[in-house]
Amino acid sequence: MPATVIDDPLGVSCVFMDGRKAQCFLNDGRLPQLAVQLVRALADLVKPHGDLDSPDSVRGYLVSIRFFLRDLEKHGFTGAAQDLSRPVLARALLALKQGRHESPVRLLRRLDDLEGVFAADVRRFVDGRNFHARAAEDRNPLVPYSEREWANLISVCEGITGRAYTAFKAALREAGLGQDVAVGGWSRQNVQWMLRQRGPEGTLPRRVRGQYAAVRRLTKVYPGADNEAVAALFPGPGVVFAYRILFGTRTGIVADGIAGLGLGDIDWAGDRTALVAYIKGRTAQESLTLSRSAVRLLERWLEHSSVLREFAPADLRGRLWLRFNPTGTYKWSAGRFPKPDEWNRYERNGLVDAEGRPFLIHGPRIRTTFEASKDRRIWQSTSRARIDPNHTPAVEGAHYVAHQTPTQKAATEAIIESAQGDLIRRSQNPLVIKGDDGLAAFLDGFPAEAARLGLDDAALAELIGGERDVFAAACGDQLSGLHGPPGKPCPARPWVCLLCPLALFAPRHLPNLMRLRAFFARQWQQTPAAAFMAFFARQWQQTPAAAFMAIFGLYAHRLDDLLSPESEYFTAAALQDAAGQVADADRELPLRPEEMTW
C-alpha cells in the first residue's frame, strides 16, 4: 500500500513492507506551498514506488526538508518549487551539511518526475552532480568475511535453525498426543495441543494472563512460561533471521531482495528445482535458479513455518519470512528486520571474528563473501577469471575484487603474469628459416633459441628436419600445454600456430600459410554477410567488436607479415612458387564442418 499525505498537520502516513505502520509529521510551518510539494514527493519515495521502508528513513527525510526550508526562508525565498532558480538552489544545497543535501535533491527529482514543475535549466541542474560528493578514494569497498568468520556464521545459523526445527517436530508430536488443559491438566502435550489448535494468541495466553495459579502451573512445565511454550511451534525473529542469513549464504541474493520475497515469488519446477524472482534495488526484477542446498533450506523453512501461517493475518500470510514475537510491539511481522535487536547477543551465539571480538551481520557483506567464494571456486578450476555479467568492471573491482583472500590474490597475480607473458610472446618476431643462410644464422644462435624452446640437440634436429611439422609450422613441443592440458596433444586450430612461441616457419610451410590466407579471404569475401555473421555468431555475441578484431585480427596481421615481400622473411621466388600450389579450396585445410565456406 503506497504512503499517503496527511494535510493537517502536514505529514505522511506509511504502511511498510513488513506490515508496520507509521505517521510522520513535518512539524514546520515555513514555506507551506513548497513543503506540501516536498511531502508529496516523499510519499512517492516510500515502497513500493520508492526504496524507503522504515519510519526512521522517512523521519530522516523530514529533518532534511526542515533544514532546506529554513535556509530558503532565511535568504528571502517565498514561492513554490516552480519558482526555484539555479542560483537559489545552489546556495541552499551548498549551505546544507554533507549528507543532508542528498535527500532534498532526491525529493526535487521525484517531484519533477511526478508534476514536471521545473524549467529545463533547473531540471538539468537538479539531475546533475551531487553537492558534497564523497571522494572516490574515501569509499571503502566491503571486505568479505574471512574463511573462519564465514564458516562460523554458517555454523551458528545452522545450529540455531537445526535446534529450532527439532523442537518444532517434537512440539508437533506432543500436540498430537495432547488434549485440552481443562480436561487433562497442565502438561507439555496439552499445552502444545492448545497452541496447535488455537494459535499463539488463543486460549492459552488469555488463560495464563492475570491468573497466577495458571502461571505457576505453566512455569512448572515451561520455565519461560507462555513465551517459551509458543516458541517451538511459532518461530520468532531470531530463528527467522538465522534462516534468512543461511538463505543469503547459499544464494548470494541481495539483502533487500531476500527481505521482500513472498510465496508467490517462488516457482517450483518439480521437487528439486525452484526459480526465485526478486527485486534488486540497483537494477530491477531478477531471477535465480536455486542450488540444491538452497532448495532444501527453503523446503525446511516452509515446513517449519506451516503452522505459523495458519494463524497469521491474511495480509502477511503470503510473505516468506513470517515470524511471531510474543513480547514485541508488533507480534506478527514479515519482510525486513528492524535494528537487529534479536541478534544483539553475538557473543552468546559464538559469532566472533579472528580476534575473538563479536562481529556484526551485514547483508551486503554476505553477498560480497558469496561472490568471492564463487570466484575462488572458478579460479581453482581454470586459469582465467570471470566476473558476474550483471556487474560492470568498476562495480566488480570496487566491491568484489578489491579485498581478496591470499588464495584469490595468488590466483589473480598468476592471471596477470600469464597475460603479461602473452603480450611479450606476441611482440616477439616469428622464428623463420628462409634458406641455407637462415639455417646457418639459426644454428649460430642455437643456444639461446634452444633455451627458449626447451630443446636438446635431437629435438632441434627433428624440428629443422620436418619431423615435428604441423599444418602451418614446425612445433617445438606439442605436449607443452601452452594451448591445452599439459602432456596432451595441442588442440589449437591451425591459425593459432601463427602466434605461438613454439612455432618455427620454413619455406616448406609457405604453401599451407598461403592456403590459410586464402581461407581467411574466402570467409570474408566469398561468404554472404548474413552467413558470415552466423558463422561467427558465438564469438561476435560474446565479445565486443573491438575485442573480436583484437583476437582474430592478430593472426591475419602475422600472416600478412610473414608472406609480405617487404618483410624479407622469405624470398620472392619462394613466395611465387608456393602461390602456384594453392588451389583456394577448403579441402586443402584441416577444417571442421562448421568452419567450411559455402
Query: Distance between CA atoms of 172 and 189, rounded to whole angstroms?
Result: 9
Do both 397 and 453 map to the same domain? Answer: no
- Mark whether 330 and 226 lie in a shared domain: no
580 and 443 both lie in a single domain: yes
Instruction: Return the C-alpha cell found at 88.
Output: 537559489
- Quote the DSSP letter at residue 19: S
| N- to C-terminal Cα separation, the chain | 61
Confidence category of residue 580, pLDDT binned at 50, 70, 90: confident
Specify whether 176 is located in the same domain as 243: no
Cα 168 from Cα 161, distance rounded (Å)? 10
Domain boundary, last residue among 203, 218, 233: 233
User: Do 51 and 79 have their domain in common?
Assistant: yes
In a domain, 563, yes or no: yes
Q: Is residue 70, in this structure, part of any structural domain at all?
A: yes
Task: Provide DSSP, 287-304.
Answer: EEEPPHHHHHHHHHHHHH
- Which of the 8 DSSP states describes residue 568? T
- 558 with 476, same domain: the answer is yes
Does some domain include residue 577?
A: yes
Sort 4 into a burial class: Cβ within 10 Å, 0-12 / 13-18 / 19+: middle
Residue 144 placed within a domain: no
In this prediction, residue 87 carries a pLDDT of: 86
pLDDT digits 0-9 by tens, 424-482: 776 777 777 766 555 556 656 555 656 666 667 777 777 777 888 888 888 877 777 67
The three-state DSSP-derived secondary structure of 104-124 is HHHHHHHHHHHHCCCCHHHHH
Q: Which of 132, 152, 179 is the last residue of a domain?
A: 132
Question: How many domains does the chain fold into?
Answer: 5
Whether 196 and 233 have beta carbons less than 8 Å apart is answered as yes
Is residue 140 predicted with pLDDT exceeding 50? yes
Over range 482-504, report the average pLDDT. Answer: 80
Report, as an integer, the average pLDDT of 135-148. 65
Q: Are residues 468 and 389 in the same domain?
A: no
Residue 280 has pLDDT above 50, yes or no: yes
Distances (CA, A) of 218 to 183, 197, 208: 15, 18, 8
Residue 86: its H or E element = helix 86-95
* 436 shares its domain with 542: yes
C-beta separation of 541 from 492 below 8 A: no
* pLDDT on residue 202: 61
**pLDDT of the residue at 161:** 93
Q: Based on the domain organization, do 591 and 460 belong to the same domain?
A: yes
Q: Does residue 463 lie in a domain region?
A: yes
**545 and 400 in one domain?**
no
For residues 211 and 250, state if they share a domain: no
Largest CA-CA distance found in the chain, in angstroms, rounded: 114
List, for residues 236-270, the tens digit of each pLDDT value: 888 998 999 999 999 988 888 888 899 999 998 88
Residue 216 in any domain: the answer is yes
Specify the range with the lowest mean pLDDT, choosing from 68-82, 134-148, 426-440, 538-552: 538-552
Angle between helices 147-177 and 225-233 (to 10 degrees): 100
What's at 500, amino acid-wise?
C
Which CATH number characterizes residue 299's domain?
Answer: 1.10.443.10
Q: Which of 349, 313, 306, 358 is nearest to 331 (CA)?
A: 313
The answer to whether position 145 is within a domain reads: no
Question: Per-residue DSSP letters for 369-416?
Answer: HHHHHHHHHHHHH-SS----TTS-HHHHIIIIISS--HHHHHHHHHHH
10 Å Cβ neighbour count for 85? 15
Q: Name the residue range of residue 183's domain.
A: 162-233
| pLDDT for residue 547 | 46
pLDDT at position 596: 75
pLDDT at residue 21 is higher than 80: yes
Residues with Cβ within 8 Å of residue 90, at least 6 apart in sequence: 125, 131
Alpha-carbon span 204 to 171, nearest angstrom: 15
528-562: b (≥16 Cβ within 10 Å) or e: eeeebeebeeeeeeeeeeeeeeeebeebbebbeeb
Sorted by sequence, the CB contacts under 8 Å of residue 290 that are 6+ apart come out as 250, 251, 273, 274, 275, 276, 298
What's the CA gap between 286 and 253, in Å, rounded? 10
Q: How far apart are CA 9 and CA 25, in angstroms?
A: 7
- Across the range 106-117, mean pLDDT stands at 89
411 CB-contact burial (10 Å; exposed 0-12 / middle 13-18 / buried 19+)? buried
Q: How many CB atoms lie within 10 A of CB 28?
A: 18
Antiparallel, parallel or unpaired: β 4-6 and 266-268: unpaired
Nearest to 318 by CA among 334, 304, 298, 296: 334
User: What is the model's pLDDT at position 514?
Assistant: 86
- For residues 371 and 466, state if they share a domain: no
Most confident of 224-228, 294-298, 346-350: 294-298
Does the residue 59 lie in any domain?
Answer: yes
Between CA 130 and CA 179 the distance in angstroms is 66
Instruction: Determine which helix (DSSP H) or strand (DSSP E) holds 475, and give its type and residue range.
Output: strand 474-475
The domain boundary residue, chosen from 83, 111, 132: 132
